[in-house]
Structure 1
């Protein structure tokens, strides 16, 4: 589909914004998806084109957080495998279910994730105190509960991706003993895996718009580097505040759609 110069600029700018916000928090799809719809793309084509275009942004953000990824190879391999399986499942569901199948549940999931992000420091202290009393230790990889949660979150991510990063952060923040910045680095890798797996599937079975894909790809790659530079400098409290602010805006936008 031919785009006007203003539509080209709008899609590119949306890609930059999505790449930036995805690296810091997540929810970048809530920037790009509406813009793609405004250009006249059908919802499923817009979703597929968006997923393909955001891959460079996810990879760019993960590279920007490479210092925080040191020492996490085993964790990433384990969680990444689960994310890949879930992402493929979500991509399949996108082509099988009605376009609005997740609309009711998504705002609830994101809102719950935000509550967990807000309460995470207190809940983590409570859980750790209980473990200390019982003489047990937190599983360094989160255990079955985290794997199950990430699997379901990745299914959703392969289906739509909006705010999946917030869900990842809330789950890992609750179940992993690590800093928010290091968990954010893992979140960027998981998002890159899910986007890539879903996009590879879409390449063979779905329609997409190459112009939109290329514009978002270039924009999100630039945004990924911007997001990494900004996000890595934010103190944990400020980063948590950004997550909650962006997440709240995402919930409002999802409810108003």
Structure 2
């Protein structure tokens, strides 16, 4: 593949990954294999991918500005919890082989997807409303989502959206906006850790990063056009697809 074709290939992967991350989460399953296809070792591809997709998460938050209004306290408190989880997850990736965790990843994504499918029933069964936006359960989920997302980004958005939707009694689009903010926080922690201590391929970042920013902004526009029921169905279907791909990789 010629250098120009490689640039176009990575730019396309970054655009799609940013859009998917803004819509549902799981864009890593587009950009990570693209980096592997160009011959990058798996660890290098993983940390490069984490750094390159950060602008896409920023684009998602910018696109959800309207839905984030009135949710500042909720978002800040959950962001602190997700940040702590991301610190743990980044350390796990940099300091341990993580083979056992890798084997659990498909099951975690599948569980998150099915939990989102059962979200209306789970919300009635376990509770959660606007008067209790910072219960210990939603914080526990945000911490685990942050840990998972920093260790392996694929499906992080599905996991976070399932947890938030289960315990926050709110419109799915507003909940998805909080999910976008938490994803940005987790990604930011990963960028700092991997930039300092990981084998990042900056030439690939220079191509994927701006493309993912555009994709993230476009993804929020697409999500806003969908009804909550349709959005839930799209996220569940994509999440189960992510789980299947991870199980086969």
TM-score, normalised relative to structure 1? 0.92
Say which one has the larger Rg: 1
CA deviation after TM superposition for structure 1 residue 140, in Å: 2.7
Task: Report the equivalent of 1:110.
Answer: 109
Quick check: 1:44–1:99 contact (8 Å CA) kept in 2? no
Quick check: 1:140–1:177 contact (8 Å CA) kept in 2? no
Task: Report the equivalent of 1:190.
Answer: 182
**Following the alignment from structure 1 to structure 2, what is the Cα–Cα distance between the partners of residues 145 and 35?**
36
- The match for 2:200 among 205, 208, 214 is 208
Question: Which deviations, in whole Å up to 9, do the C-alpha atoms of 1:215-257 show, x marking residues without a partner?
Answer: 1111100101110110011101100111011111101100110
Task: Report the equivalent of 1:125.
Answer: 124
TM-score, normalised relative to structure 2? 0.95
**Following the alignment from structure 1 to structure 2, what is the Cα–Cα distance between the partners of residues 50 and 255?**
20
Question: Which deviations, in whole Å up to 9, do the C-alpha atoms of 1:9-65 show, x marking residues without a partner?
Answer: 111111000100100100000100011011111111111111111111101110001
Uncovered stretches (5+) of structure 1, i.e. residues with no partner: 132-136
Relative distance call for 1:3 and 1:139 in structure 2 (3 A) is: farther
Secondary structure, aligned partner of 1:104: helix
CA deviation after TM superposition for structure 1 residue 139, in Å: 4.8
Task: Report the equivalent of 2:37.
Answer: 38
Task: Report the equivalent of 1:228.
Answer: 220
CA RMSD of aligned residues (A): 1.7
Uncovered stretches (5+) of structure 2, i.e. residues with no partner: none
How many residues get paired? Answer: 249
Task: Report the equivalent of 2:8.
Answer: 9
Relative distance call for 1:229 and 1:99 in structure 2 (3 A) is: same
Task: Report the equivalent of 1:256.
Answer: 248
